[in-house]
A and B are shown apart, each in its own frame.
Chain A
């Protein structure tokens, strides 16, 4: 049964691809055997509507237009070859190899399959992507957030959405209405970037904080993505601050490896300790990192880092005393 259906879809596709004028339904019914065999006009219409939607779901651009300019009450259908066909890509051997590697990046089943579909099309266009190409470095992308594909599809089809969202510091979710421009992956987490319709400016939403379902808030194509959209720039605050200050630390020998890696200078200090200079941007980030390392690190400079570390460590060592004098 499914083979016969594929055959029908294929024949419909061939017919719509080979016509220059829009073909009205009655012509389609005359032309395809299975449509002719439909027991009633209604049965044919139902069958055709389903077939048309299946083609569209595959990404086939089925166009609707007027069949006869003098009598525009009857709609016709066709597929424009220019819209249908993959444009020439011409990848060189090394570029094709990189595309082959890309097939191994997504770990989610659905996105991995989607990438494979893309590769299949490129292979059909003569790009020699080797599915068995050895991945020397295997970066892995995972989109665990259930709303990921919804936001990605909403962004690519320019469809506004509404969803419940909680901020980082509060429990209560709030409804947000957003025109999503794109999704951004950073440190293994995903964010949606877009225009917040209630606030009138762009916002970055962490998908992990989306609550419940993401619902459409308008038809596809109902907004424009800014022509000069730069997702990286719009989400730049997610990236670590550019270091503009330097801290001087005493670090126990062999300890605090991540701090040492960023050091601009490391010199032996008194016995068992090194003097380490570490560039930093945000105070709270460095303070948290130093506190976590406990007795492996002593802050010498600057004073604001030293004072903050001391205050926080004291509040842990003697919580009662700290709470008594807020």
Chain B
């Protein structure tokens, strides 16, 4: 996008905005448009020389120059040629509608009714069919929990969290300072400072057993974690495993960060992949291998293979007891 295109897009909204406001400070306009004050000043200079053929500068848009120079206040009149902003483009409409839908599905039940009204109005104004549809799969239990945690965040309170981490699969209690409820890759997370481990962590809400809002005030308020590139970010120090997967388990590469993937061309797993995956915790890989069953084979490390076989054997012994 060129600078003049950017400026042009801004002017098409700025002129009707200024007309509607009647009087507004340069500072406020700059904040509203998310640009520095001098950018607004430059925009005004362009506007002074705009008009219909035969009109003199300043004739088409009547500026109050004194107010602008003395008080940094913009007052304009007679900018009748642009009383209303340009309509929403199809991409703008789609982006806004998708964001609204996400708010509806991921949010507080009270918000949903408001969002529905808003979506109907925006859709009518855009005059578009629904080119975009988003369904964050968050169930009612999680939504209620998210709403309670959001209250705790708004009120700056600590939370006693009972949570089962995925790799550990056992419930632990801890006191946290909640920071944000965030969504990433289809799951809701509580982003919080954990006083137990003294680090900022993510707690998946579908693994929270119970959350008690405490009377004590939160002690820390770090910035929310950036989840835009996923929740798990392996480093070069993270150990890896080499796994062969059958064609039916190729989906693994779409759900987990995979460092390498090579086609398997012969043998019983032909059409599958040999992949190298980072393993943050051995238990995670054991779980994955149990889940994949006959559709995968661990090539290395060998000692992890022993763990996987032992875990399967332990699970099988449960079925030997008479009442099972």
Listed in ascending order, the chain A residues whose CB lies under 8 Å from chain B are 2-3, 5-7, 9-11, 13-15, 17-18, 31-32, 54-55, 57-60, 83-92, 94-95, 97-99, 101-103, 105-108, 111, 114-126, 131, 134, 136-142, 144, 149, 152-153, 155-157, 168-171, 181-189, 206, 208-209, 225, 229, 231-232, 235, 238-240, 250, 254-258, 261, 270, 288-289, 291-298, 300, 310, 312-319, 322-323
Contacts and interface: CB of A to CB of B under 8 A. Distances in A.
B293 A315 contact: yes
A317 B103 contact: no
Nearest to B90: A156
Nearest to A36: B53
**Candidate in B95, B151, B182 with the most chain A CB atoms within 10 angstroms:** B95
B90 to A, nearest CB: 3
B98 A141 contact: yes
Interface in B142-156: 146-147, 150-151, 153-154
B133 A14 contact: no
Interface in B176-218: 180-187, 206-207, 209
30 contacts: A3-B45, A11-B51, A17-B81, A54-B2, A86-B87, A87-B87, A87-B124, A89-B121, A95-B117, A118-B88, A118-B96, A124-B14, A124-B85, A126-B20, A136-B153, A137-B146, A137-B147, A140-B227, A155-B132, A156-B94, A168-B250, A169-B247, A182-B131, A183-B131, A186-B137, A292-B291, A294-B314, A312-B294, A316-B294, A318-B309
Interface stretch (B67-75, B107-115, B234-242): B107-115
Interface of B: 2-5, 7-17, 20, 31-34, 42, 45-47, 49-53, 60, 81-96, 98-100, 102-103, 105-108, 111, 114-115, 117-118, 121-122, 124-125, 127-137, 141, 146-147, 150-151, 153-154, 164, 169-171, 180-187, 206-207, 209, 224, 227-229, 247-248, 250-251, 254, 263, 268, 271, 273, 286-291, 293-294, 297, 308-309, 311-319, 323-324
A137 B150 contact: yes
Contact of B316 (A149, A184, A187, A310): A310
A313 B316 contact: yes
B249 to A, nearest CB: 9
Nearest to B246: A169
B316 A292 contact: no
Contacts of A238: 135
A147 B9 CA distance: 25
Contacts of A297: 315
A152 B91 contact: yes
B27 to A, nearest CB: 14
A314 B16 contact: no
Nearest to A300: B324
Nearest to B48: A7
A103 B88 CA distance: 15
Contact of A105 (B84, B103, B185, B309): B103
Nearest to A54: B5
Contacts of A54: 2, 4-5, 8
A246 to B, nearest CB: 18
Nearest to B288: A292
B141 to A, nearest CB: 6
A157 B131 CA distance: 10
Contacts of A187: 136-137, 185-186
A186 B186 contact: yes
- A126, A157, A255, A292: residue with the most chain B Cβ atoms closer than 10 Å: A292
Contacts of A31: 53
Contacts of B309: 316-318
Contact of B81 (A18, A60, A168, A169): A18
Contact of B137 (A119, A240, A294, A310): A240
Nearest to A130: B32
Nearest to B121: A89
Nearest to B293: A312
B50 A14 contact: yes
Contacts of A87: 87, 124-125, 127
